[in-house]
Structure 1
């Protein structure tokens, strides 16, 4: 700073420099603020863009999940599947009965699918907006694809979305599992989305379901040129040769029923193609072809020789309606299911009857499991009263004090009621469960097993001890009971494969049980019916409604060698009169004889 007369003074040049610096600093500040504002704007724009992209992805994911729900519920196919967005797709195939490939329908005949697909339809509707077609038309297209292709599982994997303003696209990969075909149908498609007042929605377009679809076109399957497999007997004979089995067990292929439905996936000829058809049913494009092979024939446990013997024996029944089941005691496999008259309702496997005195096999099991023996004395009076309800023996029989073995052979009701009263609570129910009395259908088709509702009071418990009350069984179930005594193991009856469950009968009770059943034939209620060979059995006379006297169904269950059986004759009176003679004729026919005669005694 220069020296002046008054001392040091500021330099003009320095003042100018300082001013320039201030100007520069201000300019820099302004520039920084401007840049910061621009960067903030860019960052804000990017955040908003990311948020919009996220909303698009969420909308696409919701749509694909809804489509998966609709594609795998209701209709003619079965349920299952998952939807994924981004990453690895997963597919689940649902279990259940497969349906036949439908014949081609014109698009006008398509109603959008059948069955309980309301949830899927509602979800697709919520995720969609009208596009080149309305949302109802989109739903019809989706359901039509589901029903014609027989979709059993599905996954949809979304790719990277592309958005511009209020529109966006979302590519996806679909994997549809089709019933009876070895590999999924896989294809790539694109969803077109639009921003609406209610968020992003997918535009309804046929091409969004499959890129080959346009108005007037639809997807379909062509059938395999291979041959359907046969359901065979154990010896390899077609079961369709037996009229009774064909109608009541084998079922049909159109529409599928019976074992044809249960084993359709195995029996059906494999392969075919997925095609695009026009309104005239003409194939305009083949999307995928699968190798065509014959279906696989399936051997069952049925024995036509045993079946014919059962049918011949039932033909001699004194009453118009009857049924019979035979089971292999070694495996639990069903050998014969016969109905009289043949066809119609299958009483053999679907009939519901009170078992009557045949249930004494279970009651005796309960007694022997709880320390009783063949010699346990029981009082067989003409009648007994429990909680004000009186129970009587058939034809007012009374034998005084007799051992358990004789009470079983003579089928004394009053003795068995007193026997049940002496057992711990729940003993009958526990024994019934050993023999499969839990209400489970035995076969994979409509069938009836055994049910033992817990008795509500002492009177009902007394009634249950003699096979009445609310107990219900089919001939199939009672044949399995006889087979269990013969083999020592109760096995759930089956006609193909293996039994799905089994219970061992306590070994200690088996010798006496078998002796009891032999005594029925040699000195008891069935002693008056000539039986070929060493037969073990139990008669039953089951009241099924009130009356004076009450009407009854007739039963005889038992076994000889490796064959167990159960016979029921509706309104047949006493088991020894009408059911036991049919069992005798059945065994005679198995031995090569002629099952002649009608009725009993």
Structure 2
């Protein structure tokens, strides 16, 4: 037999496969080495990813700090409401009577809420640099004031970071009062990392790149042009009337009254933006604007009507009072007269109970609820509501009379019964038609009318008579009379047009007009010699307790296109104190050149 051999298959290369332990060990080693290489590569990639991630996080944090700074600076740099100020009352040295407390002066020269938030925001993301943080904020406020900035827009640019320091570019655009175009410029913020946070460095050039050192500041030169004037409907300067100059027009330095409201138009335009040093020397002129004169602003005031009102108030039997006249077609104010002249601004800032002049509103509520001129009402001497007794003036008693006569004779007890028969909130809704919502009517410190929701039957009864918590200024009550004359309540205004208007339901207007005419021909004002066809309503308003309680005298009404309101403090019956002044006013209108 021949020798047998075992055949071993060849590998594709022609070599035989090794089956030794030594071969298998090399294979395992190669596999392990490959795993190590893969792990090392993964670790390196993870490290690089972490580095990139950390860099991106730092970039985001630095950018966020810069954006927060710029946003806060923008809020801090904007001047906010320039329409009113704490000096807007401009009421001379007059003082208010206790019954005519002044209204809030409205927004003041103090920082606005947005500016305070801006100040806090800048402080939160800023660290001391070449100057302190407080000094930086003070410089921002100083720049806003000196440049007269009315608006600001600041846009961040790109971030450039090297380690723990960075810069962010920005573009600023400042709207400056009296300049025809915004002042725009580019700048750079410098930031540094402090612990985990990024902070903007407090430096002068963080406000403007031209502020290269402490002690420099932004400033402006004003135009050499002439300031415009506030004029009446005939183009006559209001400054020629001392009463209007003191209680409406206001001052230029400091800005107040209508001078402040319309400063952007009145002020001469143009000038320069400059950099000045501590010696007030101009070291750099950044931009020049053409200089032009300011423009006149026409108001609704009519000096002829104003003079007629002033002469009429001079006949008042008491030392304090006011007269307001408005155009019934628009609500534009024609005259504002305070007595004494140049004293406290009672005409627009006085808060008084309107007394029976408010029965115009109560009658409106009744007519809207379906009552009519012939609705019978019992006019007894007294009426009790919720444990309180209400009485008529001088204990008058007319028995059962129609609503038109109750209005003409101003019967309190009849109107209390009338209000008690109305749906809940009917009187409140009627008051809102005439603007009794507590809002400020003029863009300077002023009072409108207020009608708080009554809490019980006693308050409702008082409100129906214009007592209780109801209050109004002479300006407001003139607008009520004008509403009946025109059929639409217009918010009073002194320039432009009425900010808002409320049409009265057409069905009630003719009846209200008849009621007010009856007051003059047969009612409480029948003894007053009015010139022409006058419609009106007397009022006697209690303003504090007493036996008898002291009262203010009112008369509101209209003739033709002129509506008016007259109040005499401590004047007693309106028919005796205020109505004669209204008659003098109308007579003066007929004779004043």
Tell me the TM-score range normalised by the shorter chain: 0.7 to 0.9
Q: What do residues 47-70 of structure 1 show as CA deviations (whole Å, max 9, x unaligned)?
A: 443333333323322332333333
Give 1:468 shift.
1.0
What's the counterpart of residue 496 of structure 1?
495
1:379–1:210 CA distance, 2 compared to 1 (3 A): same
Q: Is structure 2 residue 43 aligned with structure 1 residue 63? A: no
What's the counterpart of residue 396 of structure 1?
395
What's the counterpart of residue 302 of structure 1?
301
Q: Is structure 2 residue 548 aligned with structure 1 residue 549? A: yes
- Contact (CA 8 Å) 1:274, 1:289: kept in 2 or not? yes
Q: Is structure 2 residue 49 aligned with structure 1 residue 50? A: no
User: What's the secondary structure of 2:198's corresponding residue?
Assistant: strand
Give 1:484 shift.
1.0
> What is the CA–CA distance in structure 1 between the aligned matches of 2:62 and 2:562, rounded to whole Å?
68
What's the counterpart of residue 104 of structure 2?
none
Higher relative contact order (CA 8 A, sep 6+): 2
Please report the TM-score for the alignment, with normalisation by the length of structure 1: 0.86
What's the counterpart of residue 133 of structure 1?
131
> What is the CA–CA distance in structure 2 between the aligned matches of 1:382 and 1:551, rounded to whole Å?
20
Give 1:171 shift.
2.1
User: What's the secondary structure of 1:372's corresponding residue?
Assistant: coil
Give 1:310 shift.
0.4
Q: What do residues 253-278 of structure 1 show as CA deviations (whole Å, max 9, x unaligned)?
A: 11111111111122121221110001
1:402–1:215 CA distance, 2 compared to 1 (3 A): same
User: What's the secondary structure of 2:287's corresponding residue?
Assistant: strand
Give 1:329 shift.
1.1
List aligned pairs for 1:147-166, cutoff 5 A.
Answer: 147-166=145-164
> What is the CA–CA distance in structure 1 between the aligned matches of 2:64 and 2:437, rounded to whole Å?
48
What's the counterpart of residue 221 of structure 2?
222
Aligned residues: 556
1:430–1:61 CA distance, 2 compared to 1 (3 A): closer
1:35–1:355 CA distance, 2 compared to 1 (3 A): closer
Structure 1 regions of 5+ residues with no counterpart? 1-5, 79-94, 100-112, 595-601
> What is the CA–CA distance in structure 2 between the aligned matches of 1:407 and 1:98, rounded to whole Å?
43
> What is the CA–CA distance in structure 1 between the aligned matches of 2:124 and 2:251, rounded to whole Å?
40
Give 1:551 shift.
0.6
User: What's the secondary structure of 1:425's corresponding residue?
Assistant: coil
- Contact (CA 8 Å) 2:226, 2:293: kept in 1 or not? yes
Q: What do residues 296-343 of structure 1 show as CA deviations (whole Å, max 9, x unaligned)?
A: 211111111010000000001010011001111111111111111111
Please report the TM-score for the alignment, with normalisation by the length of structure 2: 0.87
1:392–1:114 CA distance, 2 compared to 1 (3 A): closer
- Contact (CA 8 Å) 1:98, 1:179: kept in 2 or not? no
1:288–1:353 CA distance, 2 compared to 1 (3 A): same
Structure 2 regions of 5+ residues with no counterpart? 17-21, 86-109
> Which of 83, 91, 97 is residue 83 of structure 2 equivalent to?
97
> What is the CA–CA distance in structure 1 between the aligned matches of 2:534 and 2:58, rounded to whole Å?
82
What's the counterpart of residue 410 of structure 1?
409
What's the counterpart of residue 84 of structure 1?
none
User: What's the secondary structure of 1:335's corresponding residue?
Assistant: strand
Q: Which is worse superposed, 360-369 or 115-124?
A: 115-124
> What is the CA–CA distance in structure 2 between the aligned matches of 1:34 and 1:263, rounded to whole Å?
74
Q: Which is worse superposed, 307-316 or 455-464?
A: 455-464
CA-atom RMSD, angstroms?
3.0
> What is the CA–CA distance in structure 2 between the aligned matches of 1:14 and 1:44, rounded to whole Å?
49
